[in-house]
Amino acid sequence: MWLSYELTGRQVFYQAACQQSQSFSRRLASGCDLQHHDIGFLYLLSHVAAAQIAGLPESGATAMAAADRLLARYLPGAGILQAWGALDDPQEQGRAIVDGLMNLPLLHWASSTSGNPRYRDAARSHAHRTREQLVRPDGSTHHTYFFDPLTGQPLRSATHQGWSDSSCWARGQAWALYGFSLNQRHLPELDLLDTSCQIADYFLAHLPADQIALWDLSLPIKSSEPRDSSASAIAACGLFDLAEQLPAGARRQHYHHAALRLVQALEQHCAARRPQAGGLLLHGTYHRQAELGVDECNLWGDYYYLEALARRDYGWQSYDRTSRQPISMTAIAQ
């Protein structure tokens, strides 16, 4: 809703965004379903966005409180943010998942806004440990990984939504591509762009001819298994972000053109039409192994598809940047 308001200036989107943001405030205050790292997704795209786009002061305070809640999931001994569950949950203790990279920008925003380095320090450690253990030598990624919560000793990899523990879950690969690129701006000392490029190369090399990812990249390219359009949408955003940070030249052009191909493919094969569809992007897959949300629109697919279009057409910038340039209404009008 905030992105739609930024793109159009229409009050109907502003009012809807405010209503949803108020709901997120109540959720934070009551602690409703917050035993996970996706607090970063939730409050960057709701309250940090609200503070930056609409200048709502209470949204900045809510986002900072959300960052504190996310930071509380940091395990100093392991150097990671625990992904799911209570911190003393024996089934979830010490689990990091590749999606976690996308939650770190809220911590970077909190450090930049408050001047307190502890948010950034936790994000830096988590990004380092993720690259160290969740990225395979060939550029593919593990979905989840367990560390000893006290000593940080690497224990074992596993999957939750992928085909197998040794496969490469497509959406996780896209999260990694985009996540390392986003974190590079805040952690240049880690030199994360090469990692993001390696992950991007693997993702692009395992796409079918129509560029819409299968739900797991380890499946045969000509498999009849369901696609996950949301993975291609997320990857497109990551490729635009990655290309923007690379120096001018062939490498930058390569990833920018790859992003353009993905967006064109999504427009051609997956763009929904009203009122027949209940979303923006068809052919998403939430959890194939559990037969949940297979071949349908989903929230993150819709969001990242719209973001990819905004990046392509208007040079949209992510909300974690404290010096972010808003989209020009003049450019949109033209």
Asked which of 17, 48, 72 is the last residue of a domain, the reply is 72
Which residues of the chain are under the pLDDT cut of 70?
328-334
Residue 210 belongs to a domain: yes
Residue 324 belongs to a domain: no
* 125 and 269 in a common domain: yes
* 79 and 16 in a common domain: no
Distances (CA, A) of 179 to 103, 245, 285: 8, 13, 20
What is the C-alpha separation between 147 and 134, in angstroms, rounded?
11
In this predicted structure, what is the pLDDT of residue 331? 61
What is the C-alpha separation between 168 and 159, in angstroms, rounded?
9
What is the C-alpha separation between 258 and 310, in angstroms, rounded?
16
Q: By 3-state DSSP, what share of the chain in percent is helix, strand and coil, each rounded to 5?
A: 55, 10, 35
pLDDT tens per residue, range 116-129: 999 999 999 999 99
Cross-strand partners of 216:
169
**In the block, which residue shows the tokens 């959720």?**
27
Residue 333 belongs to a domain: no
* 65 and 179 in a common domain: no
* 100 and 21 in a common domain: no
* 297 and 277 in a common domain: yes
Structural domain boundaries enclosing 279:
73-318
What is the C-alpha separation between 196 and 178, in angstroms, rounded?
7
In this predicted structure, what is the pLDDT of residue 275? 78
In this predicted structure, what is the pLDDT of residue 334? 60
Residue 62 belongs to a domain: yes
CATH number of the domain to which 168 belongs:
1.50.10.10
Asked which of 22, 45, 72 is the last residue of a domain, the reply is 72
DSSP result, 267-303: HHHTB--TTTSSSSB-SEEEETTTTEEEEE--HHHHH
* 95 and 63 in a common domain: no
pLDDT tens per residue, range 127-139: 999 999 999 999 9
Is 123 within 8 Å of 186 (Cβ atoms)?
Answer: yes
* 62 and 43 in a common domain: yes
Phi, psi of 9 (to 5 degrees): 70, 10
Number of structural domains found in the chain: 2
pLDDT tens per residue, range 50-60: 999 998 889 99
* 77 and 65 in a common domain: no
* 280 and 217 in a common domain: yes
In this predicted structure, what is the pLDDT of residue 303? 97
* 203 and 247 in a common domain: yes
Asked which of 50, 72, 94 is the last residue of a domain, the reply is 72
Catalytic residue list: 38, 99
Distances (CA, A) of 56 to 26, 174, 256: 16, 32, 34
What is the C-alpha separation between 40 and 183, in angstroms, rounded?
13
In this predicted structure, what is the pLDDT of residue 82? 98
* 289 and 195 in a common domain: yes
